[in-house]
Structure 1
């Protein structure tokens, strides 16, 4: 290859363009998922929303199931990256992290729960989301959980996992009509009521 050939630049540009198209298609799928039931999302609707041809969608994802699986995995990576950068034992930061997450993704999480019985794929996503939430609770509240006896730890873990669940956020925000700020205060108050002022020491 001659020095100064534009070929490497063109290859990089094509790769970047392809990646942008892939993300645009998954973004369009996410938008449609917020508006329609899962079985109402078609490749035609996705292609139209993304501004690409159906053949482009098929070339990148194969079929509808491939597209949905890739999109849900893409969402999962974004959620995981958002949820876990919290210092263990920092309850205020934990609530702030939780509120940021639920304000962005809470409605989608609830939609997953509603559609879980309609789709084995969504049911598997809900199960993974629950597992991720449980790992988050174990990591963030480890200084409060780890020193306890097994029975006490299990009870506190259950209280923390339930108290920080998306359904609790939904009750405060939607059923009771609290603002995001007041919902954060309510969640923090519940956690403070469950936890001692300082983490216990191992006996």
Structure 2
């Protein structure tokens, strides 16, 4: 019972910190705000995470694990599943990812998170599109990997979804169309 309560308290604290991170710049978030949002004392937060930075590192770690689990669930070699998987991810986390890009200018810590996310995105592309990449040799393979990485990047989603105002479904169709062109796939 005690372990369940402690786990629930930890989840409440992380959830509160993540909610605040969606609303505020990183440097504006305080332990007191997180504690109030979670319905616990500041001492509880500090006892559990050691410091504000410890709490934020825990939140970042949990978010990264959740993202990796969701993203790598896409079926290897199925670009429709890859696009759908990515659109679900961007609809859920895209605005936060865009905020991270801006905050990376203000925070070396967030800049390192952004770099890690870029690395993971490149790994995801290499894994999910491995059968397509295997069809091409040498420099052409690397060019295709870079093109796939760019088409599947948050920047492409942002342009289509936010700047051009496409619906989620039309954004997914647009990205799938770009992939069909890159991969030489004929089916819709």
TM range (shorter): over 0.9
**Which residue of structure 2 aligns with residue 25 of structure 1?**
13
> What aligned pairs does 1:1-203 form with structure 2 within 5 A after superposition?
13-197=1-185
Q: Which has the larger radius of gyration?
A: 1
Q: TM-score, normalised by structure 2?
A: 0.96
- SS for the counterpart of 1:118 is coil
Deviation at 1:81, TM superposition (A): 0.5
Q: Deviations over 1:138-176 (max 9, x none)?
A: 011101112322200110011100011011101111100
Distance in 2, Cα, partners of 1:27 & 1:39: 18
Q: Deviations over 1:89-126 (max 9, x none)?
A: 10110111011110001111111111112112111110
Ranges in structure 1 where 5+ consecutive residues have no aligned partner: 1-12, 199-203
Distance in 1, Cα, partners of 2:67 & 2:170: 23
Ranges in structure 2 where 5+ consecutive residues have no aligned partner: none
**What stretches of structure 1 move > 3 A for 4+ residues in a row?**
none
Distance in 1, Cα, partners of 2:35 & 2:76: 43
